[in-house]
Amino acid sequence: MDAQKMEVRCTEAILLVHHYGASQDYMARQMSAYQGRTEFLKENITKGQVALKIHSIYPSDDGKYKCSFQSSTYYNKVLFKVLVTGSGAAPHIHIEPGNTKEVKLTCTSMGWFPEPERDLQGQHLAPDSEIKTEEGTGLFHVETSIIADEILSGAVSCFIRNPVLNEEKEVHKSVAGQFHVIGPKEPIIAKAGEDAVLSCHLNPVMNAQNMEVKWYRNHSSALVHCYGASQDHKEQQMPEYQGRTGFLKENITKGQASLRIHSIRPSDGGEYSCFFESSTYYDDSIFEVLVTGSGAAPHIHVEPGNTRKVKLTCTSTGWYPEPEVQWRDLKGQLVVPDAETKTTEANGLFHVETFVTVDKSSSGAVSCLVRNPILNEEKEVYISVAGNFLQSQYPEIALLIKKV
């Protein structure tokens, strides 16, 4: 029958999802969770047929609903259930080598609803751990892991099923031939002007003679060195490293490789990656190189001023990174400098210059100290003014160099 003049309501329990009557929508009492998300479809209302479209279904929309029709003389309703579901992303398996006999396989996937079923195909491998957590959207994130023997032949698969749709997603992973690249855990400290060695190795131990081994700066397009097929490949090497790198392959059959960079420069500091690739697998490790240098012992130049003052200028060169500079008196108290400059030389190292003005009547001594903040290494020079300095036009100065 024609329902144009009827009131049509859709509710979730007693909460209003949508209300239609007198040829228009009434949204005043609509649940906030549905505002802007419902659309009443009335193309066939003259035949007593209506529909409610809910846009962008959420897991929270899952549940029981009621649809009611009411005329001026009669009322009836129907109850039904909405099952919200979602099949998430294809699972991904991450391999993390453990000791020399085992590897850890971690399978992850996200975007599932309701809570999915997880299994491993073929011979069942009981997981060592499994976590299913709800994301901010209400969908489920799955993470499960197993410890497997690295010599396990063939492949394992991680299988996730949506129990409502009976839909499955699966990923296969071969354990044989997998490896993990292990690089330096701490930053490599390289002294400017000296050679630095960047070493990496494979876990588990395996022969890397037939693998391609590369070192990169910052990102994969900045090639520092490439080794493969038992020889070096210099065609795409960054210009600043040409003629300065050497591949050390004495232990390549044990999965160990090192790169020597000659005459380290300040510009060589930063993030590096060590990359191994076989015919079936690849992995890399990211680490940092800190370039540093402790310069020459500081030198104090004395420049007599007026009859009561003398200017002491302290200079030193060859430092990296920018060093700390301090003046101190005989008691170790800091003396505020009149001026201080730190400039970068052509080789990228720092030159420092600082001066103080002291009274000739001072009976103590002052020192100029320059410190490398990475090595925590100090170089210091002392100046002492002799008692007869007051009667002399030119002072006699005693200098002492101290290396800490």
Average pLDDT over residues 29-56: 93
Kindly indicate the confidence band of residue 400, based on its pLDDT and cuts at 50, 70 and 90.
very low
Give the C-alpha separation, 342 to 319, whole Å.
10
**Greater pLDDT, 311 or 147:** 311
Tell me the torsion sign for CA atoms 246, 252, 257, 258: negative
pLDDT in tens, 253-274: 999 999 999 999 999 999 999 9
pLDDT value of position 128 = 79
pLDDT value of position 392 = 34
Average pLDDT over residues 307-331: 90
Average pLDDT over residues 78-95: 90
Cα–Cα–Cα angle for 14, 17, 23, rounded to 5 degrees: 115
Pick left, alpha or beta for residue 333 (phi over 0 → left; psi -120 to 50 → alpha; otherwise beta).
beta
Average pLDDT, the chain: 86
Q: What global pTM score does this model have?
A: 0.55
> How many CB atoms within 10 Å of residue 67?
18
Least confident of 128-142, 231-245, 310-324: 128-142
Average pLDDT over residues 326-332: 88
pLDDT in tens, 61-71: 999 999 999 99
Does the pLDDT at position 121 exceed 60?
no
Does the pLDDT at position 151 exceed 60?
no
Does the pLDDT at position 158 exceed 50?
yes
pLDDT value of position 102 = 67
Q: Hey, what domains does the chain have and what are their CATH numbers?
A: 7-82 (2.60.40.10), 92-174 (2.60.40.10), 180-288 (2.60.40.10), 299-403 (2.60.40.10)
